[in-house]
């Protein structure tokens, strides 16, 4: 079978199916894909030892009942119907399970001090240092704090426990400290109060956090609630994390791996020096030229303290642009970074960013590379990865950021789309206004900073599907523009069933039609944190299925998980980046 860049299918056995694995006999083979049983010794021993703990923990109670019911003078015990009451037995087994799980989950925090009287329980569960639990450990987890938003959701509850089992420090953002909701989380989780719709409450939440997993979603179909949680919530939290990273970078004198390279910051009239306004045309139409009203543009620092590039283009095939030759420090070349981020405002026009690369001594050998960006009405941040730049001439080689020496921002009316102002009136597409705040180079990271669980729209009522998807896609777009390393997961309809039982399809074509278990989605979230192939990727995921005859959409790829049960790296390695 052959692999394609559009979708891949992988079969795996999760070592942690929601909470505990089910017997292997529950696993079902999948046509066109292989399903392999788990070889994780920690999983098998854990299942065995938990059963042993339940049986040993309940033994004492049964003996006491037997003794209390034994009649005097009788050599054996007599059990009444009350002794085997299913309600009482169920309550007792649940108490034993809760006690075992409390001790088991609390070990996820490395800093927690274990009491002496718990040592016997640790031996029983096989969780001592060097025991089977060590196979859950992830390098770097002990020094990583993860903020989980939506920790009490269907996916969030599993994510929290998976993180703790691997040694992460876990913080959970909650809107209110409701005792019933708090009891749903393990005691060792650090709970912070805040509202994703209120940026002022998020500064404390992100302090000390290295990564974020966003599982929250609006609970009501009201447009305002969708906008607050699924759109502004993602924007506010990504901005708070970015601001916190920038603060750390300043404290470390710019030596942090997360610090950006400042290319231009427009805070005074002097900051406009070196920028040149130019104009031109792609072609000249002699007949239509006499009817053109011309074009004009200017770049000025206004009385309100803003650097504004504005003007109009009425000439057919005309354009205006703002350009500057870059002067970067010798030890800060752009090849050490992965892209550019623009902080701009204006009236929502689209622009072309052009990079000129080549030897500075001979600019005649320079090559031009372009990428198109879109802005919004008001202020926004636009992230432009270097990988998105394409050569103007198809025969030219790919962009080498090390050779970039000139940056240009071009406006051309021919590719503009109608936009509506907050008042509802449409603007003239031939005029533009771009307020410049700063231009920075994004550091090239290896891992994901922000994992967002979105949706495909399947399973949502048709009457409100468009509203939900609009808010979700707006939140995704704000995350891509933030400058953080991101992973956006769009699962199919969620199912309450064990994970790791079926093969998964990863796709970027909006073509999936099946659901997926919450445990599978949670497992992907946790694995994506330290997987370099997951950085800056968006993808759909669902359970593998057999398409109808003549409607096949995928070329299925069978994959044997490696020793570490790593199915995500080969699955995402063939998907397109910066999506």
| 3-state SS assignment for residue 96 | helix
Q: Which two tokens stand for residue 88?
A: 């009482």
Question: Do 381 and 345 touch, CB atoms closer than 8 A?
Answer: no
Question: Do 464 and 221 touch, CB atoms closer than 8 A?
Answer: yes
Q: How many CB atoms lie within 10 A of CB 233?
A: 27
In angstroms, rounded to a whole number, what is the distance separating the alpha carbons of residues 108 and 115?
Answer: 15
Question: Do 566 and 174 touch, CB atoms closer than 8 A?
Answer: no
In angstroms, rounded to a whole number, what is the distance separating the alpha carbons of residues 453 and 156?
Answer: 10
Distance of alpha carbon 546 from its chain centroid, rounded?
29
Extended beta strands in 316-403, E state: 318-325, 337-347, 350-357, 367-374, 377-385, 390-391
| 3-state SS assignment for residue 120 | helix
Distance of alpha carbon 336 from its chain centroid, rounded?
23
Q: Please list the residues that pair with 149 across neighbouring strands.
A: 173, 214
| 3-state SS assignment for residue 541 | strand
In angstroms, rounded to a whole number, what is the distance separating the alpha carbons of residues 339 and 536?
Answer: 12
Handedness of CA 560, 529, 167, 174 (dihedral sign): negative
C-alpha atoms less than 13 angstroms from C-alpha of 140 in its C-beta half-sphere: 9
| 3-state SS assignment for residue 340 | strand
At 260 the pLDDT is 78
At 105 the pLDDT is 53
In angstroms, rounded to a whole number, what is the distance separating the alpha carbons of residues 128 and 107?
Answer: 9
In angstroms, rounded to a whole number, what is the distance separating the alpha carbons of residues 201 and 194?
Answer: 5
Radius of gyration of the chain (CA): 29
In angstroms, rounded to a whole number, what is the distance separating the alpha carbons of residues 340 and 150?
Answer: 31
Contacts of 367 (CB under 8 A, 6+ apart): 356, 357, 358, 391, 392, 393, 396, 397
In angstroms, rounded to a whole number, what is the distance separating the alpha carbons of residues 241 and 519?
Answer: 26
| 3-state SS assignment for residue 481 | helix
Distance of alpha carbon 460 from its chain centroid, rounded?
22
Per the rule left: phi > 0, alpha: psi between -120 and 50, beta: everything else, 195 is beta
At 382 the pLDDT is 86
Overall residue count recorded for the chain in this entry: 579
Q: Are strands 486-491 and 537-543 parallel, antiparallel or unpaired?
A: parallel
At 484 the pLDDT is 87
| 3-state SS assignment for residue 337 | strand
Percentage helix, strand, coil, to 5, in the chain?
A: 35, 25, 40
Q: What are the C-alpha distances in Å from 88 to residues 95, 280, 517?
A: 11, 84, 31
C-alpha atoms less than 13 angstroms from C-alpha of 539 in its C-beta half-sphere: 29
Helix (H) or strand (E) holding 470: helix 462-481
- One digit per residue, the tens of pLDDT, for the chain of length 579 reads 444 445 665 554 444 444 433 343 333 333 333 333 333 433 333 322 222 233 333 333 333 333 334 444 444 455 555 556 665 666 677 667 667 766 665 554 433 333 334 444 334 333 343 333 344 567 678 889 999 999 999 999 999 999 998 889 999 999 888 887 788 888 889 999 999 999 999 999 999 999 999 999 988 878 888 999 999 999 999 999 988 987 887 676 545 555 678 899 999 999 999 999 998 887 665 555 554 567 889 999 999 999 999 998 887 778 899 999 998 877 778 888 888 989 999 888 899 999 999 987 777 889 999 999 888 888 888 888 887 899 999 899 989 999 999 999 999 887 777 665 555 566 778 889 999 999 999 877 788 999 999 999 888 888 889 999 999 999 998 898 887 889 999 999 999 988 888 888 888 888 888 899 999 999 999 999 999 899 999 999 998 876 666 555 544 443 444 445 678 888 888 888 877
Q: How many CB atoms lie within 10 A of CB 444?
A: 16
At 385 the pLDDT is 84
Question: Do 448 and 534 touch, CB atoms closer than 8 A?
Answer: yes
C-alpha atoms less than 13 angstroms from C-alpha of 493 in its C-beta half-sphere: 8
Token look-up 């240009």 returns 408
Token look-up 């034994």 returns 70
Name the residue among 104, 16, 100, 119 with its Cα closest to residue 53.
Answer: 100
Helix (H) or strand (E) holding 88: helix 86-106
């Amino acid at each position: 079978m052959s692999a394609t860049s559009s979708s891949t299918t992988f079969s795996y056995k999760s070592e942690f199916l929601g909470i505990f694995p089910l017997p292997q006999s529950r696993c079902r083979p999948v046509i066109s894909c292989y399903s392999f049983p788990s070889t994780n010794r920690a999983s098998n021993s854990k299942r065995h030892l938990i059963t042993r703990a339940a049986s040993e923990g309940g033994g004492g109670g049964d003996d006491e009942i037997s003794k209390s019911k034994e009649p005097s003078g009788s050599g054996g015990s007599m059990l009444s119907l009350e002794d085997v009451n299913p309600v009482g037995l169920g309550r007792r087994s649940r108490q034993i399970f809760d006690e075992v799980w409390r001790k088991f989950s609390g070990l996820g925090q490395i800093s927690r001090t274990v009491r002496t009287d718990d040592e016997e329980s640790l031996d029983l569960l096989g969780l001592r240092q060097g025991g089977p639990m060590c196979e859950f450990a992830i390098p770097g987890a002990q020094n990583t704090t993860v903020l989980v938003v939506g920790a009490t959701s269907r996916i969030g509850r599993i994510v929290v426990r998976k993180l703790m089992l691997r040694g992460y420090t876990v913080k959970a953002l909650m809107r209110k400290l409701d005792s019933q909701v708090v009891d749903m989380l393990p005691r060792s989780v650090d709970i912070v109060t805040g509202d994703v719709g209120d940026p002022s409450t998020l500064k404390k939440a992100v302090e000390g956090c290295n990564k974020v997993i966003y599982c929250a979603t609006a609970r009501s179909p009201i447009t305002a609630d969708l906008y607050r949680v699924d759109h502004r919530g993602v924007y506010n939290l990504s901005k708070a994390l970015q601001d916190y990273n920038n603060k750390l970078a300043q404290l470390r004198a710019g030596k942090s791996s997360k610090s950006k390279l400042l290319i231009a910051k427009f805070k005074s009239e002097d900051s406009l020096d070196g920028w040149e306004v130019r104009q031109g045309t792609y072609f000249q139409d002699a007949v239509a030229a006499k009817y053109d009203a011309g074009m004009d543009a200017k770049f000025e620092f206004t009385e309100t303290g803003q650097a504004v590039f504005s003007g109009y283009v009425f000439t057919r095939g005309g354009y205006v642009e703002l350009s500057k030759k870059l002067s970067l420090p010798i030890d800060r070349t752009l090849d050490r970074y992965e892209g550019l981020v623009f902080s701009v405002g204006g009236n929502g026009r689209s622009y072309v960013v052009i990079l000129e690369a080549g030897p500075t001594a001979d600019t005649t050998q320079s090559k031009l590379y372009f990428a198109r960006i879109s802005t919004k009405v008001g202020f926004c941040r636009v992230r432009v990865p270097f990988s998105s730049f394409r050569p103007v001439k198809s025969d030219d080689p790919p962009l080498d950021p090390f050779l970039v020496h000139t940056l240009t921002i071009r406006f051309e009316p021919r590719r503009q789309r109608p936009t509506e102002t907050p008042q509802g009136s449409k603007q003239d597409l031939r005029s533009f206004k771009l307020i410049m705040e700063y231009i920075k180079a994004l550091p090239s990271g290896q891992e994901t900073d922000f994992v967002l669980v979105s949706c495909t729209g399947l399973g949502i009522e048709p009457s409100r599907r468009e509203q939900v998807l609009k808010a979700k896609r707006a939140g995704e777009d704000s995350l891509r523009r933030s400058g953080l390393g991101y992973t956006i997961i769009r699962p199919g309809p969620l199912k309450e069933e064990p994970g790791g039982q079926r093969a998964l399809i990863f796709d970027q074509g909006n073509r999936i039609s099946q659901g997926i278990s919450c445990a599978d989605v949670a497992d992907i979230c946790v694995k994506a944190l330290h997987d370099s192939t997951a950085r800056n990727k968006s993808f759909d995921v669902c359970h593998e299925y057999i398409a109808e005859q003549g409607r096949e959409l995928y070329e299925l790829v069978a994959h044997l998980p490696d020793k570490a049960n790593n199915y995500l790296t080969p699955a995402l390695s063939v998907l397109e980046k910066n999506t």
